[in-house]
Structure 1
Amino acid sequence: MSIDELDLDYRLLRLFLTIYDEGSVTGAANRLGVGQPTVSHGLERLRHIIGDPLFVRSGRGISPTSHADEIVGRVRALLQDMRNLSRVGVFDPDTADHAARFVLGTNDYEVAVILPALMRHIRSCAADIRLKVVPVSGSDQIVALLRDGKIDHAISLQLNGKFGDIAQQGLFHEHMSCFYDPAHHDVPPDTPDRFCAAVHARVMLGNNEHSAVDDLLQAQGRTRRTVLQVSSFASVANLMGGTDVIATLPSRLVDGIMHGFGHCAFPFDFPPYRFSQYWHVRNAENAAHKWLRGEIFRIAKRLA
């Protein structure tokens, strides 16, 4: 019968360790819950595969050979690696020897609204958790970056389309508000006429030139005069202060980027829109990633 190293399997390696630890074929059989002939047959197979007796008689028991002593550490490590292949890893944020690295794709709205609480929580953990935040915009870019593994996670507006390999979880709904410098507006732009008469700033992320607000106005036969267009929410806050420019922005920015500005309800019927978190299915069962998703969801529920 031809036997080579490819005949090694988990059962034979476990058999070797059990005999080694018990110092007895009978003891190994009892520990494994099998008959002594089964252990003896397995040991004989091991001897043929490895090319060494592995154990020799010593008094009333058996002793490992020098080769068995040499390989036992590697066999233990190999068995542990084999066990790990069939187990979802464990991540404990309160354990100092645990570590995690995340690349999170998002824009400065989520940086302002969600990430401060997430960062405070991360820094309260004993584990070595590191977060890299990169800008993203649009469904195509987010999906491509997740698929390529260039980001681990994304927080964004609801993506358009269905992607079988991209998982998602809804976080909260948002609505629009109008922001303005109260020193330059005696009355807020809280009616359709006052809103359309004002001069406007708008935020357009990435290469997007499509504005849902302008589409809504056009559908009602109205227009607005946009004198400033920027690619981030922080920029619009820095540039419209001290001017008569107004901006229609997500309402939750009032406590962060737009703190200190006047604000009022957007004077048109604009439906709420949803933010979600996204990840590739290859990370679905990763313990550290599951922890991150749970923390983001917990923070988002406080915003709901």
Structure 2
Amino acid sequence: MSRFDHLDLDPRLLQLLVAVVEERSITRAAGRLGVTQSAVSHGLERLRAIVGDAVVVKSGRGVVPTAHAEALAVRARELLEALRGFAAAGTFEPARLVATVRIAANDLQRDLLLPRLFARLHDAAPGLRLHVVPSEVPSAEMLRDDGCHLVISPRPPEAGDIVHKRLFEDGYRVFYDASQRDAPSTREAYEQAEHVTVLRDAGRALDIDRVLGAAGVQRRFVVQVPDFAGVRPFVRGSRRLATLPGLLRVDLLRGLAHAPVPVACPPMPMYMVWHLRYQTDPMHQWLRRELEAVVAPALEAARAA
């Protein structure tokens, strides 16, 4: 009986066993494995100690495997194939994917990017389903607890286990109804107007509202709606203004006129955000690449609108 533990086996010993059994020659087995003959001989000694069998015996000028070695070689091939399957388990084939991908996005990034993204994903992975959830003000917890695989937001949570990458940036514009008024060309005209804005369910004001307020810009908000889709009905047919990301002109604010904001405004960045545990996941890497791939066409279409 062997005094060695089965854990003394390693894939190289299994490969050596298969090579010696198939080649029926230590010299040819060494050449096949790319090692020296002494390395093969040393490996055979280890195998003999582990399995309690001679493994090979002399036959004329060569060697032949024992009956036990022949049987062990069959199992060794199966184990090596299983190891190759284990190593390949991280590979990803979109066509074989059957899964639901959850992406958190608010109405701007949802309408701008996600229809294009899903078209690409579905072409490559017909078994994929997309579940879009509102991101509101995204938290690290919604990524930690698998509430979503990816967040698209101008506000990535600050946490050591959260990763983000900038997708693009947008400039702010003043939206108005050109049939009712001209664009405000001065700060005074801008401050004197009535304004419509968005206040998300979380109760946090838009970044631009906080920035302009901190800069001392005085605006009178007469309407607050929970999302960008609610803005147009309150601006159309009125003299009210809405200061929002310019890309909203493509869809949600289509039909409204827009002009530069007559006060200094920073750009609005947009990020994709994910949890660190997905950093090297093949499916997630594919998802992120596909999202990045739709950004340029979406922005080009928006500029042409």
> Same-fold call, TM > 0.5?
yes
Secondary structure (helix, strand or coil) at the match of 2:231 reads helix
- Residue 154 of structure 1 aligns to a residue in which SS? strand
Aligned equivalent of 1:286, options 281, 286, 301 = 281
**C-alpha separation in 2, matches of 1:50 and 1:130:** 50
Evaluate the alpha carbon distance shift between residue 50 and residue 214 of structure 1 in structure 2; reply closer, same or farther with a 3 A threshold. Answer: same
Whether 1:222 aligns to 2:218 is yes
Shift of 1:175: 1.7
Matched, 1:165 2:161: yes
TM, length-normalised to structure 2: 0.76
Q: TM-score, normalised by structure 1?
A: 0.77
Query: Could you tell me which residue of structure 2 aligns to residue 107 of structure 1?
Result: 106
The reply to whether residue 146 of structure 1 matches residue 143 of structure 2 is: yes
* 2:29 maps to amino acid: A
- Per-residue CA deviation, residues 38-61 of structure 1 (Å, 9 max, x unaligned), is 334423433543566766789963
Say whether residues 1:76 and 2:72 are aligned partners.
Answer: no
Matched, 1:118 2:117: yes
The within-5 A match list for 1:93-104 is 96-97=95-96, 102-104=101-103
Per-residue CA shift, 1:52-100, capped at 9, x if unaligned?
6766789963365474265245312333145448xxx55566xx44677
Q: Which moved more, 1:203-212 or 1:249-258?
A: 203-212
Give the CA deviation at 1:7. 1.1
Cα deviation for residue 118 of structure 1 reads 1.9
Q: Which residue of 1 aligns with 2:294?
A: 299
Which residue identity does 1:247 align to in structure 2? A
Does residue 62 (structure 1) correspond to residue 59 (structure 2)? The answer is: no
How far the C-alpha of 1:115 sits from its partner, in A, is 2.0
Query: Structure 1 CA distance, aligned partners of 2:67 and 2:130?
Result: 49
2:246 paired residue among 235, 243, 251: 251
Structure 1 counterpart of 2:221, which letter?
A: R
**Cα RMSD (Å):** 3.6
Give, in whole Å, the separation in 1 of the partners of 2:45 and 2:97.
42
User: Given residue 120 of structure 1, which amino acid in structure 2 is its aligned partner?
Assistant: A
Unaligned runs of 5+ in 1: none
Change (3 A) 1:61 1:205: same
Aligned to 2:303: none
Could you tell me which runs of 5 or more consecutive residues in structure 2 were left unpaired when the two chains were aligned: 301-305
1:282, 1:207 → 2: CA distance?
Answer: 27
Percent identity between the two aligned chains: 33
Aligned twin of 2:33? 32
Go from structure 1 to structure 2 and tell me whether the alpha carbon gap of 1:220 and 1:38 turns closer, same or farther (over 3 Å shift). Answer: closer
Q: CA 1:63/1:290 → structure 2, altered by over 3 Å: closer, same or farther?
A: same
Q: What CA distance in whole angstroms lies between the structure 2 residues aligned with 1:56 and 1:133?
A: 66
* Corresponding residue of 1:264: 259
Pairing 1:155–2:152 present: yes
* Cα shift at 1:249: 1.5
Amino acid at match of 2:149: D
Q: Give CA deviations for 1:210-263 in whole Å, capped at 9, x if unaligned.
A: 344265246436231322321x22233466555655422110010111112222
Aligned pair 1:19/2:16, yes or no?
Answer: no
Aligned length: 294
For residue 6 of structure 2, what is the aligned residue in structure 1? Answer: 5
Structure 1 CA distance for aligned equivalents of residues 116 and 215 of structure 2: 39
1:180 to 166, 176, 187: 176
1:57/1:149 CA distance change after superposition, 3 Å: farther
**For the residues of structure 2 that align with 1:167 and 1:176, how far apart are their CA atoms?**
26
**1:113 aligned partner, one-letter code:** L
Deviates more, 1:251-260 or 1:215-224: 215-224
Structure-1 separation of matches of 2:151 and 2:285: 13
